[in-house]
C-alpha cells in the first residue's frame, strides 16, 4: 500500500523497521537510512532472517537538507519516519516540505548548543505544511506519544473535565551494566540534568533537577522512587486540555544511576559547550556518549518491565472521578520479538502505529499536530494488537495526594 522511509538506525529505528516489516500489508516498501549504512544493513539482515521481509537501506546525513531531498526523490516515499536525533527534526521537515511528503517524529527539535525542550520551532511549520497539503505528526513515541493518546482517550471516554494529570514512567529493568542510558545517552542526559518543571494553576513551576521525588507503586512492579522532570508532552497537553490545573511528569531512577550521573556532572562530563583538548574542540557530553553502551546493545539479557501510564483526576457527571491508564512491557519479550529492549520498543511501536494510521487516512490532516489532537480510539486498538496492551482502572484511590 505505501512506501515509507525511516531515518535513524539506533535502538528505536531498529524497532520501527522490524514492526513496519511485520505489517507489510500497510508498509509495502520500506527503506531504512542513517548516517552509518552498516547499521541499517545489519538491521535489514535481522529483519530478513526473522520476518522474511526484504527492506532497502541507504546512507544519509539528515542534517543536510539537500541530501535528504535527494534520497526522498530517489526512493519516492509517502511518509518519512524520523527516529534519528532531535537535532535532525527541522532539516527533515524542510526536506519533506520541499518534496511534498508526510512527516512523523518521536522527539521535539532541540538546538545542539542549548538544551531547550519546546515545540515552538516545529509548530512554526504549521501553515507551510497545511498549504503544502501534507501532515507532520510530532512526538509519536511513548512519552511523548502514547501518553498523549492516553490523555485524549481519558478526556473522550471518562471525563467531562480533567483537573490533575500525572504521567508516571517506570523502568524496572536490569541490563547488568554499571551505567547506561536506555535511549540516546546525549539526549537522555541533556533532558534529566535540566531544571524540573511542572504546570500548576496556569503557570510553569521550575524546580532544581530531581528535587521532588517519592515512591510510586507501579502495577506488577511495586514501589519505585520517582522524580519530577520536565517532559515535552506537558507543553502541548496543557495547551490542548486547558482545564488541567496541574500536570506533572514522573520518572524512576535507581540510586546507582543517580550516583554515576552526579559524579559525571561534577567532573564536567555532561557539559554541552566545547572545551579545548589537544588543540581540538570537544563537547564532553558527545565524548561521553561515545564511551557509553549504545541503547541498541542493551537488549540481550535485559530483564524486568517498564510501566508507563497516566493518572488523572477530574469530574464526570458532576462527580469526582479518578482514572489510570497504562502499559507494562517486558524487556526479554521485546528482545525475543524484534531484538530490541523495551524502551526502544515502547517508542518504536507507537511510531509505527502513528505512521500506519496516517497512511491509512485514519489520522490524516494537513498541518502540524501533536498526538492528543487525533482520535485516540484507533491508536489504542492498534496498541492492543501490536504488542503494547493497554490496561485501565476507573475510580481507584490514586497513590498521590490531590
Question: In angstroms, what is the minimal distance from the CB of 7 to ligand NDP?
Answer: 6
Q: Which residues pair with 318 in a beta bridge?
A: none
| Residue 396, all three cell numbers | 481507584
Question: In angstroms, what is the minimal distance from the CB of 104 to ligand NDP?
Answer: 11
Distance of CA 357 to the CA centre of its chain: 17
Residue of 210, 227, 242, 256 lying closest to 314 (CA atoms): 242
Question: In angstroms, what is the minimal distance from the CB of 346 to ligand NDP?
Answer: 7
If you search the block for the grid coordinates 491508536, which residue do you land on?
379
Residue of 93, 199, 151 lying closest to 309 (CA atoms): 151
Tell me the backbone φ, ψ of residue 381, rounded to 5 degrees.
Answer: -60, -45
343 versus 358: smaller Cβ distance to ligand NDP: 343
62 versus 155: smaller Cβ distance to ligand NDP: 62
Residue of 78, 75, 84, 73 lying closest to 57 (CA atoms): 75
Residue of 349, 341, 358 lying closest to 382 (CA atoms): 349
Question: In angstroms, what is the minimal distance from the CB of 402 to ligand NDP?
Answer: 26
Question: In angstroms, what is the minimal distance from the CB of 140 to ligand NDP?
Answer: 7
158 versus 190: smaller Cβ distance to ligand NDP: 190
17 versus 97: smaller Cβ distance to ligand NDP: 17
- Summarize as ranges the residues that interact with ligand NDP (CB under 6 A): 7-13, 34-36, 39, 60-63, 83-86, 88, 106-107, 139, 141-145, 183-184, 187, 294-296, 343, 347
5 versus 238: smaller Cβ distance to ligand NDP: 5
Residue of 196, 187, 371, 199 lying closest to 289 (CA atoms): 187
Q: What residue number has its CB nearest to ligand NDP?
A: 10
Exposed, middle or buried: residue 401 (CB in 10 Å: 0-12, 13-18, 19+)?
exposed
139 versus 309: smaller Cβ distance to ligand NDP: 139
Question: Rounded to an integer, what distance in angstroms lies between the CA atom of residue 183 and that of residue 346?
Answer: 11
Question: In angstroms, what is the minimal distance from the CB of 226 to ligand NDP?
Answer: 17
Amino acid at each position: 500500500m505505501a512506501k515509507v522511509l525511516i531515518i535513524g538506525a539506533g535502538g528505536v529505528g531498529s524497532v520501527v523497521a522490524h514492526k513496519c516489516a511485520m505489517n507489510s500489508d500497510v508498509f509495502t516498501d520500506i527503506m531504512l537510512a542513517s548516517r552509518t549504512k552498516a547499521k541499517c544493513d545489519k538491521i535489514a539482515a535481522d529483519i530478513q532472517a526473522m520476518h522474511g521481509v526484504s527492506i532497502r537501506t541507504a546512507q544519509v546525513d539528515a542534517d543536510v537538507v539537500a541530501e535528504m531531498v535527494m534520497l526522498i526523490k530517489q526512493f519516492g516515499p509517502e511518509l518519512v519516519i524520523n527516529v534519528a536525533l532531535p537535532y535532525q527534526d527541522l532539516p527533515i521537515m524542510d526536506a519533506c516540505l520541499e518534496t511534498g511528503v508526510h512527516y512523523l517524529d518521536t522527539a521535539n527539535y532541540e538546538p545542539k548548543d542549548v538544551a531547550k525542550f519546546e515545540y515552538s520551532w516545529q509548530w512554526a511549520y504549521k501553515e507551510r505544511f497545511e498549504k503544502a497539503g501534507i501532515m507532520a505528526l510530532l512526538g509519536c513515541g511513548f512519552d511523548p506519544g502514547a501518553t498523549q493518546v492516553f490523555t485524549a482517550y481519558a478526556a473522550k471516554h471518562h471525563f467531562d473535565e480533567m483537573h490533575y494529570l500525572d504521567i508516571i514512567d517506570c523502568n524496572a529493568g536490569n541490563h547488568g551494566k554499571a551505567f547506561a542510558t536506555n535511549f540516546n545517552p546525549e539526549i537522555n542526559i541533556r533532558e534529566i540534568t535540566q531544571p524540573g518543571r511542572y504546570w500548576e494553576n496556569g503557570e510553569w513551576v521550575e524546580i532544581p533537577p530531581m528535587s521532588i521525588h517519592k515512591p510510586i507503586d507501579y502495577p506488577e512492579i511495586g514501589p519505585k522512587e520517582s522524580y519530577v522532570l520536565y517532559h515535552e508532552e506537558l507543553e502541548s497537553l496543557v495547551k490542548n486540555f486547558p482545564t488541567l490545573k496541574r500536570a506533572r511528569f514522573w520518572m524512576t531512577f535507581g540510586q546507582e544511576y543517580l550516583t554515576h550521573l552526579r559524579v559525571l556532572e561534577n567532573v564536567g562530563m555532561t557539559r554541552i559547550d566545547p572545551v579545548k583538548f589537544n588543540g581540538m574542540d570537544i563537547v564532553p557530553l558527545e565524548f561521553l556518549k561515545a564511551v557509553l553502551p549504545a541503547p541498541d546493545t542493551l537488549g540481550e539479557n535485559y530483564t524486568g518491565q517498564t510501566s508507563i501510564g497516566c493518572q488523572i483526576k477530574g469530574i464526570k457527571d458532576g462527580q469526582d472521578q479518578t482514572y489510570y491508564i497504562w502499559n507494562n512491557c517486558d524487556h526479554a519479550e521485546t528482545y525475543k520479538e524484534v531484538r530490541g529492549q523495551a524502551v526502544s520498543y515502547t517508542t518504536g511501536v507507537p511510531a509505527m502505529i502513528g505512521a500506519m494510521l496516517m497512511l491509512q487516512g485514519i489520522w490524516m490532516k494537513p498541518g502540524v499536530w501533536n498526538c492528543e489532537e487525533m482520535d485516540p480510539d484507533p491508536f489504542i486498538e492498534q496498541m492492543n494488537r501490536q504488542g503494547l496492551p493497554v490496561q485501565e482502572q476507573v475510580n481507584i484511590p490514586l497513590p498521590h495526594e490531590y
